[in-house]
Amino acid sequence: MMDVARLAGVSHQTVSRVLNEHPNVSEQTRLKVQAAIAELGYRPDRAARALVTGTSKVIGVVAQNSSLYGPASMLTAFEEAAQATGFAVNVGSVRSLDERSIADAVERHLDQRVAGLVVIAPVASAGPALAKLPDDVPLVTIDGDPERSSTLVTVDQVAGARAATQHLLEQGHESVWHISGPADWFDAAGRVEGWEAALREAGREIPPLLTGDWSAASGYRNGQLLARLPEATAVFAANDHIALGLLRALNEHGRRVPGDVSIVGFDDVPEAGFYNPPLTTIRPDFDAVATAALELLLAQIESGTTDSVRRTIAPALVVRESVAPPA
């Protein structure tokens, strides 16, 4: 506050009045103080103060208010890992991961003197808000932009998609079709990359990409097309819900799974083993991602540094009954 006062040419009492929106401050003085605050990046209850005093045992998490299995599982795993180390978790849920929503959620967390921040940011729209965060705030991003120079922990989407595609090719299928997630999701982009890489490495033709939106409805919609293509004997679905809709469409058209079409999903939702047939899928290790994110965040909190570190957690192939050699 004294730094702000010196830069603005006023007393620290005047700075306090501006911060508390006291009416007995002229507009010119208010603007000078606000400009100094912006220039210095001053925050009354900045997370850095909490680190110095050791009074905060709360981690702020920003996540989209979503029922999607992956993000919801990631959030639950992180809460459990943090609580095991004696930290409470304050979750700021946002309707969408756009710049304004994330910035507002982060602002609320910092005003509450959290020790550090975790942002579950699987979509490109989160980037601008993360780029504007203060450099002195401990921050770990989960499933964020792989091109951004910040501490990031993520599931190895490319490796998971590669494993799914290779498993289908190893059964003798000539090629593998793919129903992707939304184009602006980093998870979806990584899975497309892994699918394409596996096909190129095997010297196989890459079929046209089909796009979904993580929902069973989008799997069903794309399944209506695939059911009419006899050459489509193997499909990698970007998540298990897409696979569920695809199963329904193929069944309605008399295409047997895995007799006529083999399917591999991604996520290993709790119901995947009860699909008809039980679904072969890729299982992300959400607990390992959460543990790694917490370890990196605590290291930043203890050291007072915010170096850029990257951790990628490999998923596992879970083999069930939805894959077989082509008829």
Segment 2-28 shows an average pLDDT of 88
pLDDT of residue 215: 97
- Least confident range of 41-50, 71-80, 90-99, 193-202: 41-50
Nearest Cα residue to 38 out of 72, 9, 7: 7
Are 260 and 230 spatial neighbours (Cβ–Cβ below 8 Å)? no
319 exposure class (CB count in 10 Å sphere: 0-12, 13-18, 19+): exposed
pLDDT of residue 54: 52
Q: What is the end-to-end Cα distance of the chain in Å, rounded?
A: 75
Segment 66-91 shows an average pLDDT of 90
Residue 97's pLDDT band (boundaries 50, 70, 90)?
Answer: confident
pLDDT of residue 45: 52
Which range has the top average pLDDT, 66-75, 300-309, 313-322?
313-322
pLDDT of residue 96: 85
Residue 327's pLDDT band (boundaries 50, 70, 90)?
Answer: confident
Q: How many residues in total does the chain contain?
A: 327
Q: What is the pLDDT of residues 154-173, one digit of tens each?
A: 999 999 999 999 999 999 99
Q: Give the sheet arrangement for strand 262-264, strand by strand.
A: 210-211, 177-180, 234-237, 262-264
C-alpha dihedral sign at 68, 71, 73, 76: negative
Residue 137's pLDDT band (boundaries 50, 70, 90)?
Answer: confident
| 152, pLDDT greater than 70 | yes
Kindly state the percentage of the chain with pLDDT values over 90.
Answer: 67
pLDDT of residue 49: 47
161 exposure class (CB count in 10 Å sphere: 0-12, 13-18, 19+): buried
| 134, pLDDT greater than 80 | no
- Least confident range of 88-97, 203-212, 217-226: 88-97
Rg (the chain; Cα; Å):
24
